[in-house]
């Protein structure tokens, strides 16, 4: 029996703000996009609680609710949104070929990569327990909730340094906990950190436990238990928020070796464009953006990708 091949003009891989926005625009341009939602439908926003910085929600909204709204809007137009993941993608010849974990084989005229990035976590049980209830991986998203309070940032790279200096403007005190005795961050960022009076460095230390309270569905962080790796001593630091800033991993493995990326795997796109080095393949959202990483910027690049895809297809 010959294999059944489904054809689509536009295959969107991934379903965060970038993917759904690409679907809304592509559907309205009559491309009838097919989307595979991926491992985490709705993307990183589904792991946050309150979102107050997305324009159009004057009272704020919940991350998962916002992603449901994005999805409903994409479905209102003619988007074929499917649960599941694309397991293989070949963009060496057109039409591009993809295989999904539901057994489908797909041929696509254009592909929009919106697979996002995954925040790295410490991997301790209490971190997962308080995720979204005082533990966060995004200071710009959640810092506001800790105005005037004390927080911890974990990490020693540019992200940790940037998050610590950002939070220092809002919070009373920021403890920057790093596992070594020197920061990996650029010298300029180090200079900022060391010259911000309300940032205290906690060197050579690892967070062993996030401390907190739990009453029914109400959970709140009250501090961290930290071990000094050199002295072996333990210390408890009382804080209301814990920001993990130990890096992100872009979800770009599916096009590794096929599409140009930087040395840590962020997909390269042309300036002012979402086009990759492969004609007809676009990348939007966090899989191509390690700088801004916001829902609104991801949505913006999702829109760009769909418009560019539509223009490319019309020119064929
Ligand atoms: P990095 O990989 O540069 O840094 C990660 C940091 O987290 C390191 O200090 C590392 O420690 C620490 N770390 C990693 N795993 C653990 C763990 N399990 N427990 C405790 N600590 C851990 O990631 P970033 O997100 O900071 O930066 C990624 C890239 O993006 C970099 O190239 C950076 O320069 C760039 N960037 C640039 C910015 C800018 O230009 N404005 C802003 C943000 C990022 P150790 O040092 O010991 O390995």
Residue nearest to atom 11 of ligand 1 (CA): 156
Report pLDDT for 45: 84
Mean pLDDT of 64-79: 94
The residues that are catalytic are 138, 141-142
> Considering the chain, what is the average pLDDT of its residues?
95
Q: Indicate whether 1 pLDDT > 60.
A: no
| Angle subtended at Cα 39 by Cα 220 and Cα 130, rounded to the nearest 5 degrees | 10
Q: Indicate whether 52 pLDDT > 90.
A: no
Mutate to test the pocket of ligand 1, among 155, 210, 288 (most ligand atoms within 8 A of CB): 155
Q: Which element (helix H / strand E) includes 312?
A: helix 295-315
Question: Nearest Cα to 112, choosing from 309, 277, 287, 256?
Answer: 309
Q: Is 241 exposed, middle or buried (0-12, 13-18, 19+ CB in 10 A)?
A: buried
Query: In sequence order, what are the beta bridge partners of 282?
Result: 112, 275
Instruction: Count the neighbouring beta carbons within 10 Å of the beta carbon of residue 234.
Output: 12
Report pLDDT for 102: 94
Mean pLDDT of 184-197: 95
* CATH no., domain 121-244: 3.50.50.60
Report pLDDT for 180: 98
Mean pLDDT of 118-147: 93
**Domains in the chain: boundaries:** 5-118+248-315, 121-244
Cα 56 from Cα 34, distance rounded (Å): 27
Mean pLDDT of 49-60: 87
Report pLDDT for 217: 81
Do the Cβ atoms of 142 and 241 come closer than 8 Å?
yes
The residue among 64 and 198 whose pLDDT is bigger is: 198
Q: One fold for both 5-118+248-315 and 121-244?
A: yes
**127 Cβ closer than 6 Å to some ligand 1 atom:** no
Cα 253 from Cα 89, distance rounded (Å): 10
Report pLDDT for 116: 97
Identity of the highest mean pLDDT range in 1-10, 61-70, 200-209: 200-209
- Alpha carbon 161 to its chain centroid, in Å, reads 18
Do the Cβ atoms of 277 and 260 come closer than 8 Å?
yes
Q: Indicate whether 44 pLDDT > 60.
A: yes
Cα 39 from Cα 257, distance rounded (Å): 22
Question: Nearest Cα to 46, choosing from 24, 23, 19, 28?
Answer: 19
Do the Cβ atoms of 305 and 112 come closer than 8 Å?
yes
Report pLDDT for 2: 55
Q: Indicate whether 257 pLDDT > 90.
A: yes
Residue nearest to atom 7 of ligand 1 (CA): 246
Mean pLDDT of 216-224: 93
Q: Which atom belonging to ligand 1 lies closest to the Cα atom of 247?
A: 25
The residue among 110 and 4 whose pLDDT is bigger is: 110
Mean pLDDT of 178-193: 96
Name the 3-class secondary structure at 250.
Answer: strand
Q: Which atom belonging to ligand 1 lies closest to the Cα atom of 122?
A: 18
**156 Cβ closer than 6 Å to some ligand 1 atom:** yes
Give me the residue label for tokens 């890096």.
247
Q: Which CATH number fits domain 5-118+248-315: 2.160.10.10, 3.50.50.60, 3.40.50.1000, 3.30.420.40?
A: 3.50.50.60
Q: Indicate whether 229 pLDDT > 80.
A: yes
Q: Which element (helix H / strand E) includes 113?
A: strand 105-113
Report pLDDT for 26: 98
């Amino acid at each position: 029996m010959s294999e059944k091949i489904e054809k689509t003009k536009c295959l969107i891989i991934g379903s965060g703000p970038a993917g759904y926005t690409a679907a809304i625009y592509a559907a309205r341009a009559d491309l009838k996009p097919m989307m595979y939602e991926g491992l985490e439908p709705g993307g990183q926003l589904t792991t946050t609680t309150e979102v107050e910085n997305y324009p159009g929600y004057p009272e704020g909204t919940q991350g998962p609710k916002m992603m449901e709204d994005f999805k409903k809007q994409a479905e209102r137009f003619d988007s074929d949104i499917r649960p599941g993941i694309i397991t293989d993608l070949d963009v060496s010849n057109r039409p591009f070929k993809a295989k999904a974990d539901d057994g489908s084989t797909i041929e696509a005229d254009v592909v929009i990569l919106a697979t996002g990035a995954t925040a790295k976590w410490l991997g301790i049980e209490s971190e997962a327990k308080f995720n979204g209830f005082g533990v966060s991986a995004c200071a710009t998203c959640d810092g506001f909730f800790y105005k005037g309070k004390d927080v911890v940032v974990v990490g020693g790279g540019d992200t940790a340094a940037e998050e610590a200096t950002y939070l220092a403007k809002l919070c009373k005190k920021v403890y920057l906990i790093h596992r070594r005795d020197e920061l990996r961050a650029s010298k300029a960022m180090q200079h900022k950190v060391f010259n911000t009076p309300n940032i205290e460095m906690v060197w050579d230390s690892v967070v062993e436990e996030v401390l907190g309270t739990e009453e029914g569905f109400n959970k709140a962080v009250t501090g961290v238990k930290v071990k000094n790796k050199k002295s072996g001593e333990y210390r408890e630091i009382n804080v209301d928020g814990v920001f993990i800033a130990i890096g992100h991993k872009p979800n770009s493995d599916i096009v590794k070796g096929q599409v140009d990326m930087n040395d840590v795997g962020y997909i390269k796109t042309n300036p002012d464009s979402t086009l990759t080095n492969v004609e007809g393949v676009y990348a939007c959202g966090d899989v191509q953006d390690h700088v801004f990483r916001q829902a609104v910027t991801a949505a913006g690049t999702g829109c760009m990708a769909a418009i560019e895809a539509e223009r490319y297809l019309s020119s064929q």
